[in-house]
Structure 1
Amino acid sequence: MTEGEGNSQANHMVGHRDRLRQRFVKAGVDGVQDYELLELVLFRAIPRRDVKPLAKELIERFGSFADVLAAPSARLQEVKGISEKVVTELKIVQAAALKLSQQNILKRQVLSSWQALIDYCTAATAYEKIEQFRILFLDNKNALIADEKQQTGTVNHTPVYPREVVKRALALDASAIILVHNHPSGDPTPSGADIQMTAQIVQAAKPLGIRVHDHLVIGRGQHYSFRTEGLL
């Protein structure tokens, strides 16, 4: 490659980055595609390389922008060009998105901010590769006082112990709880074990005055509410 060709490619890359940034500033997230949004993130970690092919490869391998952010660090580094520095940048963006969703419901009346709650639960669990079981603890005004991950399981099962759930609710002086777990398959339809476990928690919590407002099963872009479906 001659010096002139190298300068031309460098100028093209700089021009592409500037144009993409300007398009994002003008139109926001709706003005860019998933791989372009990923490019904007990669710009910071990889300042002197055309990252469009890398962004497209990541989307093709993992499925979406959100899937890339949620992918395990080890799997990300299997992709040529993804260093520890790049992984850190991706995980910072993921953490920021989760924190923003969390702040939209923290200390607020959760039952009147239902979409914000679903958005948060989706950000927290939908793209995990294994099942995890979370509990949202609410005070007597149904404001969120804590969100805790209780258990992590396998790709299709998470062991949950009703006694431990109730014990933790009492320790936090919670008046109500919302159960949340994800289905890595993407299908939020509850299993028979999910339904049985929920009934056991309701049975254990009721005598102590702790209400189970809902059990949310989070899939990919969809969720299942036990309350809405008449299972609570």
Structure 2
Amino acid sequence: MDGFDDARTPASKEPHWHGHRERLKARFRERGADGLPDYELLELVLFRSIPRRDVKALAKTLIQRFGSFSEVLAAPHERLVEVDGVGDGAATDLKLVLAAAQRFARGEVRKKPVLSSWANVIDYCRAAMAFEPKEQFRILFLDKRNGLIADEVQQVGTVDHTPVYPREVIKRALELSATAVILVHNHPSGDPTPSQADITMTRQIVDIAKPLGIAVHDHIIVGRDGHASFKGLRLI
């Protein structure tokens, strides 16, 4: 009779996905994020947002829809909730993870002179902009010790263009008493290769900045496929 009762009362048994959750958490503790594919890392995030449901299929759907773990986090809230199974709470939690990553990356940049922590600068720029759906033009303003004074988005444009006004860039640098700047913008297409317009605009800023004692250390373009450095490419 005991066996019969168990077969007829599945609600009394542990849900089939409960063991999977515990095993996945254990693997994360043992191997870290690098030991998990994107969809499993996303499952771990979704566990807390959706506590009473198997979320493996949902995680895979999100990766398929948006492309990667990073692109899921960067997706607009309104697009996330279009996916069946993602409510406002889960979408907000995903955006919170993105905000935490960006805040952490920005903190790493602020801790030491920018030029001595270049890898952190690149990580921050990618976290902040690489997956944005529209072009943004950002400026990192530096003091004479190359410490970060301010980090400002100057312009937001379309999917393939952002209007940039070189004199306004330098005007803002003077207002902040900055002695150097790093220019940053993203290419939503994913390809960070500089366009001729990017090169022309950058050289205009360099030409205006130099007589005023303001150095342009670099112009970084970020995209899903990586980043490009004007200095590295010897374009400035």
By the TM > 0.5 criterion, same fold? yes
Matches for 1:12-161 after TM superposition, within 5 Å: 12-161=16-165
Higher-Rg structure is 2
Q: 1:3 to 1:112 in 2, by over 3 A?
A: farther
Residue-by-residue CA offset, 1:204-225 (whole Å, 9 max, x unaligned): 2122111101000112241111
Name the amino acid aligned to 2:230.
F
- Measured after TM superposition, the shift of residue 11 of structure 1 is 2.7
Q: Does the CA contact (< 8 Å) of 2:114 and 2:146 recur in 1?
A: yes
Runs of 5+ in structure 2 lacking a partner? 1-6
SS class of match (1:224):
strand
Give the C-alpha shift of residue 126 in structure 1: 0.6
**Counterpart for residue 190 of structure 1:** 194
TM-score, normalised via structure 2 length: 0.94
Indicate the residue corresponding to 1:209 in structure 2. Answer: 213
Q: Could you tell me which amino acid in structure 2 is paired with residue 176 of structure 1?
A: A
- Please list the CA deviations of residues 94-128 of structure 1 after superposition, one character each: whole Å capped at 9, or x if unmatched: 00111111111114211111111111111111111
- From 1, 10, 21, the equivalent of 1:5 is 10
1:136-159 alpha-carbon deviations (Å, 9 max, x no partner): 011101111211111111111000
Structure 1 segments of 4+ aligned residues over 4 angstroms from their partners: none
SS at match of 1:207: helix
- Two-structure CA RMSD over aligned residues (Å): 1.3
Identity of aligned residues (%): 63
How far apart in 2 are the matches of 1:110 and 1:209? 18
TM-score normalised by L of structure 1: 0.95
Answer whether contact 1:107 1:145 (CA < 8 A) is retained.
no
